[in-house]
Homo-oligomer: A and B are copies of this chain.
Amino acid sequence: MTERKANIYDVAQLAEVSHQTVSRVLNNHPSVKPATREKVESAIAELKYRPNQAARQLVTSRSQMIGILIAGTELYGPWAILNAMEREARLEGYSVISISVSPDSPDSWVDAIDQLRNLDIDGVITIALSKQIVKEVENSLASATIVIVDTEPSKKFDAVNIENYVGGKIATEHLINLGHRNIVHVMGPSDGYEGQQRREGYEEAMKDAKLKIDVLQGDWSIGTGYEIGREIADRKITPTAIFTSNDHLALGVMKALTEKKLRIPEDVSIVGFDNIPEAAYFSPALTTVHQDFDELGKLAINRMLIQLKESTSRAALTIPPTLIVRESTQQLKAGK
């Protein structure tokens, strides 16, 4: 018994109404009598009818799909955000297509964007993409609503961000309050908004305390953290504290320092950023700036849905980060 799937006419017939009325029920059109609606709904249930997305999309050219472009497939943050988004979008009846792009391969962007265009995506959310890629998205997907996450806010799109600047500042201030004076900052990739903001927070805090700014250029990888850690350890005068732009860098730095017989936190205090699940279990447990990725993802999706329903004016939304103090930072001992 290979029964044909029920369509809107089957439902209409069973409910003794026209196909159009069924369509109205499906789309929650107001002018349908409650009694009629009920009849239709029970027919739908009886036939196990489900609307055909493709047909609907064909006529409305809306796909009920949101595309998400992510940079940095190795990172915890984007993954966490993506998960939150996917969950939230599903609750609202949207599907999510996520595509990871390599920041350094323009081909991969073009491919990704191409795919989204083919799918008649309603909206695109970008996570931690460079301005350049966002630009490309804007040009190629003119008809889609765009929300950018973890990227420099723009006049054109909704932007959702963690207050990276604040995070950098509270992390640095925490170290200053512990008595540290010689504080190095290991920065994220120079072309990324997040890293820049965190650095600015660091610099502001250092300036306020009249301390010397000391920034080393990194990226988001553990390996780079390790390399930089070795350099730091080899200095004539080693800093007493380090603030790294993410937890991975911190892990790499810690490993390098430990190998060079520097103790954490006795000799050097360290603060990370992200609060990845592992951070609490590093040895020592890492003091870090917590980002609520879940909230960030939800916020971005909700913003997107609002824009899709009614095009309101753009907004820049932010979520405050919080400092989580663990074992890797301590009061500077006298004589250092």
Q: What residues make up the interface of A, taking CB atoms closer than 8 Å to B?
A: 50-55, 57-58, 61, 63, 73-74, 79, 83, 86-87, 90, 95-100, 111-112, 115, 117-120, 222, 225-226, 248, 251-252, 254-255, 258, 277-278, 280-283, 285
Contacts and interface: CB of A to CB of B under 8 A. Distances in A.
A115 B97 CA distance: 13
Nearest to A251: B281
Given A54-B120, A99-B90, A251 B226 contact: no
A166 to B, nearest CB: 26
Stoichiometry, as copies per complex, reads: 2
A80 B24 CA distance: 43
A83 B58 contact: no
B226 A255 contact: no
Given A54-B63, A55-B58, A255-B285, 16 more contacts: A51-B118, A52-B120, A53-B119, A53-B120, A54-B54, A83-B100, A86-B99, A90-B111, A90-B112, A97-B97, A222-B280, A248-B278, A251-B281, A254-B283, A255-B282, A278-B278
Contact of A73 (B83, B118, B248, B258): B83
Given A58-B52, A251-B281, A281-B222, A95 B97 contact: yes
Given A100-B83, A283-B283, A95 B73 contact: no
Contacts of A90: 99, 111-112, 115
Residue of A63, A100, A278 with highest tally of chain B CB at under 10 A: A278
Contact of A96 (B57, B97, B258): B97
Contacts of A254: 281, 283
A255 B277 contact: no
A100 B119 contact: no
Nearest to A117: B50
B255 A222 contact: no
A248 B276 CA distance: 12
Contact of A100 (B87, B111, B118, B282): B87
Nearest to A60: B54
A50 B118 CA distance: 7
Given A52-B58, A83-B73, A283-B255, A95 B115 contact: yes
A57 B54 CA distance: 6
A277 B74 contact: yes
Contacts of A283: 254-255, 258, 282-283
A37 to B, nearest CB: 21
A168 to B, nearest CB: 23
Contacts of A83: 73, 100
Contacts of A282: 255, 282-283
